[in-house]
Amino acid sequence: MDQTQRGILGQPGPVPTTQPKKKRTSVMSFFSKVSWTLRFQKRESLKNVFSILAERAQDPNAKKRHMAMRGLGTMACETPDKVRKYKKIVLDLLVHGLYDPVSAEVIHESLKTLTIILGKIQGKSLGSFFVDITLQTRTLLDDENDNMRYSAFVLFGQLASFAGRKWKTFFTSQVKQTQDSLLIHLQDRNPQVAKACKTTFRACSPYLKERKETGFQTEEDQRNPKLCRQLVKPAAM
């Protein structure tokens, strides 16, 4: 971890000195003012806000983690330059949120915020985060919660656009494992989820096309146009 990360993630949090009810009110009050603070664009204030959000994202309290993910989404919308500056730290926090072992709210908020941030950075230089995000997002496509499924399909479709050459083979394997979910949720009980699934299905369709392999053909086979067409013809779905 470099000096910048230590400075942001290692900053100690405030010592709780108030009653639980007042403490909850204070936390909610802070996060309700995040957007207001960001609009002032004061350099020092933004740094402080980001430091607190980074700390809260790792808090044992699930509610604080949830609000931190939401705050990071607000920051991504209103100060994208700040997100680009701390991209690796933000992505690390959100990936941890995506794998939250306790709170579905934290996971859902992480999905939504990742969608915002990946859009802002155009999926550039994700590194191994691409794998972590894809693996977990794929498991959420069949979640019981409609909102979770919707957000998962939106993010998965976005990942299809950002796979590029580096992650093409990996993402192709993930899409093939997701075929059943894609087909099932085209008829999802929730119209919005079905619509998101349809959009994602289109984005993923290039990864579902069968590759034309001709290298194994013998010289005799290559002289037989009819046989060649049969070998490379995609199987009917």
- Is residue 70 pLDDT above 70, yes or no? yes
Query: Mind listing the pLDDT tens digit for each residue in 132-187?
Result: 999 999 999 999 999 999 999 999 999 999 998 889 999 999 999 999 999 999 99
What integer is the mean pLDDT of 64-71? 92
Q: Given the structure tokens 């009653």, which residue do they identify?
A: 19
CA distance 197 to 5: 37
* CA 27 to chain CA centroid, nearest Å: 26
- Is residue 46 pLDDT above 90, yes or no? no
For the chain, the average pLDDT equals 76
Measured distance between the N- and C-terminal CA atoms of the chain, rounded to whole angstroms = 49
- Lowest mean pLDDT of 44-48, 50-54, 221-225, name the range: 221-225
Residue pair 58/93 in contact by the 8 Å Cβ criterion: yes
**In this predicted structure, what is the pLDDT of residue 165?**
85
Q: How many residues does the chain have?
A: 237
Band of the pLDDT at 18, cuts 50, 70, 90? Answer: very low
Query: Mind listing the pLDDT tens digit for each residue in 110-134?
Result: 999 999 999 888 878 788 999 999 9
- Is residue 45 pLDDT above 90, yes or no? no
Band of the pLDDT at 17, cuts 50, 70, 90? Answer: very low
Residue pair 39/82 in contact by the 8 Å Cβ criterion: no
- Lowest mean pLDDT of 34-48, 68-82, 123-137, 155-169, name the range: 34-48
Contacts (Cβ under 8 Å, ≥6 apart) of 232: 212, 213, 214
